Chain A
Amino acid sequence: MKKITKKTYLNWYEEMLFWRKFEDKLAQVYIQQKVRGFLHLYNGQEAILAGSLHAMDLTKDKMITAYRNHVQPIGMGVDPKRVMAELYGKATGTSQGLGGSMHIFSKEHRFYGGHGIVGGQIPLGAGLAFADQYFKRDAVTLTFLGDGAARQGSLHETLNMAMLWKLPVVFCVENNGYAMGTSVARTANHVEIWKLGLGYDMPCGAVDAMNPVKVAEAMDEAIKRARKGEGPSFLELKTYRYRGHSMSDAQLYRTKEEVEEYMKIDPITQVLDVIQKKKYATNEEIKAIDKRVKERVAECEKFAEESPFPENNIMYDTVYEQEDYPFLAHKPE
């Protein structure tokens, strides 16, 4: 694995803070009804993305996840302005305004979505890995899913085949404690999700995912194994989401105290603590980062605001590869 250096920490701090503030901005513009539909935010889970990106080979490795998916593509290299524009439903968005919050994609940056059906992305992740194995591409796919998604049949069928065929994929369960209002303990007779891997003889384990270093180390091991042709791994990344499931969640299923406990081990604060302790940056330098983050978020907002909405024909033009597909009319002329 690449060494974790001063530069890594400073980069982590800036990017994680940017993701956090990006999501905060989305919450704000959602309340202003500029962004609609569901909005699932990543606040609290940033160490997972930071650690994963550190361990990945960003020239070829791939990522796929569920609908809590605004910041992962940014981490993979997508212009955040285009992600924000997608949430505004603008023509400049990553899906030209067709996908919205739950469906961010970037073929260019090997971010394969953005999937709204719980568990739906799991076999896709293994399929991406299947193709990489087939074409001997030496690339690995990180397939993310929630603790709730771990109860879908799609996971279990996919784990079996991925192990049978030694696919280069890492299954990463982001255990943030809840699937909507249902705690992990209420979804199964066990709470140690990582143990699901044992049934398939798949290398598996739990990771403290509030700390990007821990995530990077675990990912590195799993990615190396996959790249060597030794097959998949199954990681349970223990994390927490600070905000509600989506924007209309009264959060009666948990206490304020519980949220505060996790905020004490906030991933961004942990990174900042190291920076300060090791004197990687002065207070002025940190302030400069904070300022830059603010500006970057403001740029995204401005871009999204000023971008045009898509033309109507785009919803037809994007359905089929065939250019002259004969769509049925749906309204009187």
Chain B
Amino acid sequence: MKTIQFREAIAEAMSEEMRRDETIYLMGEEVAEYNGAYKASKGMLDEFGDKRVIDTPISELGFAGIGIGSAMNGNRPIIEFMTFNFSLVGIDQIINNAAKMRQMSGGQFNIPIVFRGPTASAGQLAATHSQAFESWYANCPGLKVIVPSNPKDAKGLLKSAIRDDDPVIFMESEQMYGDKGEVPEGEYVIPIGVAEVKREGKDVTIVSFGKIIKEAYAAAEELEKENISCEIIDLRTIRPMDHKTILDSVKKTNRLVILEEAWPFGNIATEITYQVQSQAFDYLDAPIVKINTADTPAPYSPGLLKEWLPNSADVVKAVKKVLYK
């Protein structure tokens, strides 16, 4: 094992894959000469040159579509959005073209492309720069959606995403790029669609993903002191979702809390809630509780943002609620 930053895990995954496959290129704003707005492609221009590590103008619709078009014609592009907030400028290309092309063409055109970049809030950036669109993308058939929470998962899953023959949305976080974690020394991949139990426990299951899962870890530590044992599942892949890992855990703990940084209406937690009640209704000893961001655009002011975001104290409360404590 070696210890690297999340951003290094991203760069390693892309670089290793680009070494083994000439059809892959990386394209996006500031990815080349600036080494990535968040330095997630550091050194890649030097190694691969400007044919394969390509700075774009601020033209998300154009370069998302150019990526998809090239994928119809032999490339396996990695398209970086500086953040997924800006993917909205190009979302038509992703939803109407990348996601639908294969079926619409009767299976002729698969689209082996990865759209990646940070998702969700990153401090006091206010309404337009703090959004989590996991559920928007996961709602769309034809796409796969991955949201890792640590360097090891990020590297292994990004390699799988790049090798995958279908379009993959791969979501990171500005607030995770500096996180350090252990990753295996050699070559490894982590399969898409497999959740991981990050902490074993017996009293309650907490499902989460992405950077917000850290609030669940902190809550579990707190609750441990009160002899409450939490099992934490990191979804890692949102679509397709690993129902089995969730259900197995719920059947053991009989209680479920879902922590997701997203607006509450029709989000990933809502989908999990439906799946669990339909497949494990008899195992539940309490209604499922979900914790989300407030049902409003993100506010700027620090106190408001704190109230808007979910935190570990909310998780503690939710766990106690499902335990009737």
Contact = CB atoms under 8 A, between A and B. Distances in A.
Given A119-B89, A148-B57, A180-B29, A103 B303 contact: no
Contacts of A90: 301
Interface in A98-133: 98-103, 115-120
Contacts of B314: 331-332
A327 B295 contact: yes
Interface stretch (A2-10, A200-208, A211-219, A313-321): A313-321
Interface stretch (A75-83, A149-157, A227-235, A293-301): A149-157
Q: Which secondary structure characterizes the binding site on chain A?
A: loop
A205 B85 CA distance: 33
Contacts of B129: 37-38, 102, 116
B124 A36 contact: yes
Contacts of B58: 118-119, 148-149, 151-152, 179, 187
B295 A330 contact: yes
A89 B125 contact: no
Nearest to B85: A117
A9 to B, nearest CB: 37
A259 interface: no
A265 interface: no
B133 to A, nearest CB: 14
Contacts of B62: 153
A331 B34 CA distance: 40
A239 to B, nearest CB: 18
Most chain B CB neighbours (cut-off 10 Å) among A89, A148, A188, A253: A89
A152 B59 contact: yes
Interface in B16-53: 29-30, 33-34, 37
Contacts of B294: 315-316, 327, 330
B205 interface: no
A194 B289 CA distance: 56
B86 A188 contact: no
Nearest to B311: A331
Given A153-B61, A180-B30, A186-B55, A103 B264 contact: no
A152 B265 CA distance: 31
A316 B123 CA distance: 19
A309 interface: yes
A276 interface: no
Contact of A330 (B61, B292, B302): B292
A95 B304 CA distance: 13
Contacts of A73: none
Most chain A CB neighbours (cut-off 10 Å) among B57, B89, B297: B57
B303 A309 contact: yes
B301 A151 contact: no
B89 A182 contact: no
Contacts of A119: 58, 89
Range of interface residues on chain B?
Answer: 35 or more
B180 interface: no
A240 B29 CA distance: 21
Interface in B83-111: 85-86, 88-89
B126 A99 contact: yes
B227 interface: no
A197 interface: no
A170 B53 CA distance: 37
Contacts of A316: 294-296
B317 interface: yes
Contacts of B300: 37, 89, 95, 97-101, 103
Nearest to B303: A309
B319 to A, nearest CB: 9
A149 B297 CA distance: 24
B127 interface: yes
B89 A117 contact: yes
Contacts of B299: 97-98, 314-315
B310 interface: yes
B37 A332 contact: no
Contacts of B60: 152
Contacts of A186: 33, 55
Contact of B318 (A97, A118, A310, A332): A332
A252 B301 CA distance: 32
B30 A181 contact: yes
A182 B58 CA distance: 10
Contacts of B304: 89, 97-98, 310, 312, 314-315
15 contacts: A37-B123, A97-B299, A97-B301, A99-B127, A101-B300, A117-B128, A309-B303, A310-B303, A312-B303, A314-B299, A315-B296, A315-B304, A316-B296, A327-B294, A330-B310
Given A98-B127, A179-B58, A330-B291, 19 more contacts: A36-B123, A89-B301, A95-B300, A99-B127, A102-B125, A102-B128, A116-B126, A116-B129, A117-B128, A118-B58, A120-B128, A152-B58, A153-B59, A153-B89, A310-B301, A310-B304, A316-B295, A330-B292, A331-B318
